[in-house]
Amino acid sequence: MELILEKYQQTEIGIVPNDWEICELSEAVDFLDGQRQPIKSSDRTKISGIFPYYGASGIIDYIDDYIFDDDLILLGEDGENILSRNLPLAFQVKGKIWVNNHAHVLKPKETFDIVFLTNYLESLNYSLLNSGTAQPKLNKNSCLKIKIKKPSLEEQTVIATALSDADALITGLEKLIAKKRNIKQGAMQQLLKPKEGWEVKKLGEICDVIGGGTPSTFIPEYWNGTINWFTPTEIGKHKYTFESVRKITKEGFINSSGKILPIGSILLTSRAGIGDVSILMYEGCTNQGFQSLVAKTGYNNEYIYYLITTLKNVLIQNASGSTFLEISPNKIKQIEVSISNYEEQTRIATILSDMDAELTTLEQKLDKYKKIKLGMMQELLTGKTRLI
């Protein structure tokens, strides 16, 4: 503890190294918000061009003119991302750009490294600065008072280099994943394209179509059991689905219109996002937002899964409803598809599954890299770990 007290100091924003300063954002940047100009979407269509048009969370269009030509930081001014942080809130921009009135425009002063400051601002929790009512908002006056940790410019640059190296790994992996996804998409188009000798079948001929149901939410005994019970919001992000968020009891299942779906069933959403699919890896049932598919004998369920992913537009076109769109089981059964023999189905499914497995591995690696970078930010931007 004595060693810590010798090298660190307690400040209003926590413990920092003795040789770091604390300043306000107003001392670290110049706000260039006065130069921003919003352009309506309808007007942007008339001036389409090569220059990025930025909003609160990144590029939203390209136009034929620019306001700024500099190295700058954009800090989202409004929108749910201030709280959710699903996208970067503070991000660096460079060159000729246009910015609307939904992002603060910051020009770092000479005593700050722009990469260091961008990462520092991105690491902050802005929920306490939110001044919005209808939607979250960061007003300029609040931002001016944000406390900034200020190492020497030399240390900022060293920290920035380390974080930039991590960003380069992440960006490279994101580009590789995008490339692999495009390759897979092209492979699907080729492999699933009807060929000589393939049969035209209705989905009802190759699959059993099974709906779902919901037990009464007013009877506690029906809930928090052991039977998987899926809703549409749980489907679509991953090829395989294992466990549901909520589970029902045996009594709840008996008192619903749902049916137990076997392992390998294809969960298919029929409302609230029509056409999302996933392969069930444990037995379970669904609510009424599904018309799930169980492959009949002689048909490969993984092949059908890939086939269904190409039919989203067809499913939507066959949907109807005034309050919300929904596709009926009968409509699903009548959709026609071209299908190969079982051996060819298995071969195609194996090729595409191998591609998916590679993508999953890369995505897991990307997630790991992002967590490593987050850990680096927590160490380096607080001074817990020093590089010089």
State the DSSP string of 23-92: EEHHHHEEE-GGG-----HHHHGGGEEEEEEEETTEEEEEES--SEEEEEEEEE-BSTHHHH-SS-SEEE
Q: What is the pLDDT confidence band of residue 47, given thresholds at 50, 70 and 90?
A: very high
Determine whether 343 is exposed, middle or buried from the number of CB atoms within 10 Å of its CB (0-12, 13-18, 19+).
exposed
pLDDT (tens digit, 9 = 90+) per residue, 15-40?
A: 999 999 999 999 999 999 999 999 99
Interior angle at CA 300, CA 297 and CA 303, nearest 5: 150
Cα torsion angle, 112, 118, 123, 125, sign: positive
Residues 83, 124 contacting (CB under 8 angstroms): no
* Residues near 358 by beta carbon (within 8 Å), at least 6 away in sequence: 180
6: confidence class by pLDDT, cuts 50, 70, 90: low
Residue 5 has pLDDT above 60, yes or no: no
Amino acid at 209: V
Distance CA 306, CA 324 (A): 26
- The reported pTM is 0.84
Q: Dump pLDDT digits (tens) for 178-214.
A: 999 999 999 999 999 999 999 999 999 999 999 999 9
Q: Where in the chain is the domain with CATH 3.90.220.20?
A: 22-150, 199-339
Closest alpha carbon to 261 in 216, 228, 288, 235: 228
| Euclidean distance between the first and the last CA atom of the chain, given in angstroms as a whole number | 21
pLDDT of residue 1 exceeding 80, the answer is no
CATH of domain 22-150: 3.90.220.20
151-196+342-388 to CATH, choices 1.20.120.80, 3.40.50.150, 3.40.50.920, 1.10.287.1120? 1.10.287.1120
Q: With 0-12 CB in 10 A as exposed, 13-18 as middle and 19+ as buried, what is 90?
A: buried
Q: Token pair of 59, please?
A: 């590029």
pLDDT score recorded for residue 321: 87
When the candidates are 3.90.220.20, 3.40.50.2000, 3.40.50.2300, 3.40.190.10, the CATH number that belongs to 199-339 is 3.90.220.20
User: Could you say which DSSP state residue 264 is in?
Assistant: T
Domain with CATH 1.10.287.1120 in the chain: 151-196+342-388
